[in-house]
Amino acid sequence: MEDLPDAEVPHTDPVPPRFHTGRLPNSKAGDGKPRLLLMGQRRSGKSSISSVVFHKLPPSETLYLETTTRIKKESMHSFMDFQVWDFPGHLDYFDPAFDVDNIFEEIGALIWVIDAQDEYLEAIMRLNTTILNLQHSYPNINVEVFVHKVDGLSEDYKGDTFRDIIQRVQDELSDHGYENAPVSFYQTSIYDHSIFEAFSKVIQKLIPQLPTLEALLNSLCSTCHIEKAYLFDIMSKIYIATDTSPTDIGSYEICSDYIDVVIDVSEIYGWPRGEQNGDDESLTETGNNDAESLITMERKGNNYLYLREINKYLALICLMGDDSPAEKKAVIDYNVGVFQAALKQVFPRAERDAVDAPAT
Ligand SMILES: Nc1nc2c(ncn2[C@@H]2O[C@H](COP(=O)(O)OP(=O)(O)OP(=O)(O)O)[C@@H](O)[C@H]2O)c(=O)[nH]1
């Protein structure tokens, strides 16, 4: 992970004409990295979200985060490179002083954070204005609305607030004839797994290979009688794909907790990995050599878990149900090996990086 220079704002150049670039979110034009823009009112929780998900900051320490005064840009290096831009809450991005194209051109998703514990009408008004402005110039941008800080709300109030926010946004959009605008809503909190789940869904929309990944995971699950399989980005604990059987937050939580344990232990006793140790040659081995991959099996409650590192960015975690995977280990290992080889073709970059370039 690397800090990019903060933007000097506002920009005073004349505003160039606005148009949709027609590029895929992760197109290689410009700097080539899809952007996730974090926007919303002051104190809604934008910097906290970015710090907890991408920097492993303990949620309670977000209490001490200072208010963001400039656009904070960070570059994330993982199975795919992307940027996260954290915007100060008070800015009006459509003010002619801003270079709107520079902000929205390479965007993968706009994440709009609404503090559900606070008065949210103004936040919705700004969100609606933003969506309507975007619909003119960039109609394909995914707008992801995080109804955030829901941890402090009762179940009933949480549901009512969520529905109310969706209704208000949808009413405004249909009044302007944009019923089908790509806007999605999530209930999130940094104090549980919901923020990682929401981010997983946001990131998955930016992966053109997602249908292929799902098909590969489906096939792995049916061949090895796996209940549920997740492909995790190890460092952020975002899952980039899962098989198409129904997903419940419980199974995601088990897998995510398990990743934490395994990663903590392997960081103490295992090989160097990831961003902190990007130029270590042994990463090549880890990425390509089955014998060096980490494989664990564990019984958690009624479930056996199977974890295997796929490359330096990704780990496969499978919920095996109450059938011990030890009995079918050979079949699972073989099929996961096939899956790993297929993944190399889907994400050649992850493998190439492990060989060619140090992560920065
Ligand atoms: N209860 C609760 N508090 C949260 C959550 N996320 C963030 N907070 C708190 O909200 C406060 C504001 O968080 P920030 O991340 O600084 O908000 P911001 O949107 O970046 O604020 P600006 O930089 O001023 O735009 C902090 O005290 C966080 O601890 C959450 O999920 N639940």
Cα 197 to chain center, whole Å? 8
Q: Would you say the CB of residue 200 lies under 6 angstroms from ligand 1?
A: no
Q: What's the CA gap between 61 and 302, in Å, rounded?
A: 34
- The answer, yes or no, to whether residue 6 has pLDDT greater than 70, is no
Asked whether the beta carbons of 309 and 294 are under 8 A apart, the reply is yes
Task: Report the range out of 38-42, 67-71, 80-84 with the highest average pLDDT.
Answer: 38-42
The dihedrals phi and psi of 76, each to the nearest 5 degrees, come to -105, 130
Q: Would you say the CB of residue 192 lies under 6 angstroms from ligand 1?
A: no
Q: Which of 41, 62, 191 to mutate to test the pocket of ligand 1 (most atoms within 8 A of CB)?
A: 62
pLDDT (0 to 100) of residue 236: 84
Distance 65 CA to ligand 1 centre (A): 8
pLDDT (0 to 100) of residue 298: 59
Q: Would you say the CB of residue 340 lies under 6 angstroms from ligand 1?
A: no
Confidence of residue 19 (pLDDT cuts 50, 70, 90): very low
Q: Would you say the CB of residue 151 lies under 6 angstroms from ligand 1?
A: yes
pLDDT (0 to 100) of residue 169: 95
Cβ neighbors of 209 (< 8 A, separation 6 or more) are 346, 347
Summarised one tens digit per residue, pLDDT across range 213-237 is 999 999 999 998 888 999 998 888 8
Q: Would you say the CB of residue 149 lies under 6 angstroms from ligand 1?
A: yes
35-206: CATH superfamily: P-loop containing nucleotide triphosphate hydrolases (3.40.50.300)
Instruction: Evaluate whether ipTM surpasses 0.90.
Output: yes
- The residue whose CA has the least distance to atom 30 of ligand 1 is 149
**How does strand 142-148 pair with strand 2-3?**
unpaired
Q: Would you say the CB of residue 150 lies under 6 angstroms from ligand 1?
A: no
Task: Report the range out of 35-49, 63-77, 88-102, 249-263 with the highest average pLDDT.
Answer: 35-49
Q: Where are the domains of the chain?
A: 35-206, 209-269+289-346
Summarised one tens digit per residue, pLDDT across range 98-148 is 677 777 777 789 999 999 999 999 999 999 998 988 888 888 889 999 999
Q: Would you say the CB of residue 193 lies under 6 angstroms from ligand 1?
A: no
Mean pLDDT of 142-158: 93
Q: Which residues of 114-132 are buried (b: 16+ CB within 10 A; e: fewer)?
A: bbbeeebeebbebbbebbb
Q: Would you say the CB of residue 68 lies under 6 angstroms from ligand 1?
A: yes
Q: Would you say the CB of residue 228 lies under 6 angstroms from ligand 1?
A: no
- The answer, yes or no, to whether residue 353 has pLDDT greater than 50, is yes
Q: Would you say the CB of residue 187 lies under 6 angstroms from ligand 1?
A: no
Distance 47 CA to ligand 1 centre (A): 7
Distance 202 CA to ligand 1 centre (A): 20
- The mean pLDDT value of the chain amounts to 77
Rounded to two decimals, the pTM is 0.80
pLDDT (0 to 100) of residue 27: 41
Q: Would you say the CB of residue 63 lies under 6 angstroms from ligand 1?
A: yes
Q: Would you say the CB of residue 70 lies under 6 angstroms from ligand 1?
A: no
Q: What is the DSSP string of 21-54?
A: ----TT-SSTT---EEEEEESTTSSHHHHHHHHH
Q: Which residues pair with 76 in a beta bridge?
A: 82
Distance 115 CA to ligand 1 centre (A): 8
CB atoms within 10 A of CB 32: 12
Atom of ligand 1 nearest to the CA of 44: 19
Structurally, at CATH architecture level, domain 209-269+289-346 sits in 2-Layer Sandwich (3.30)
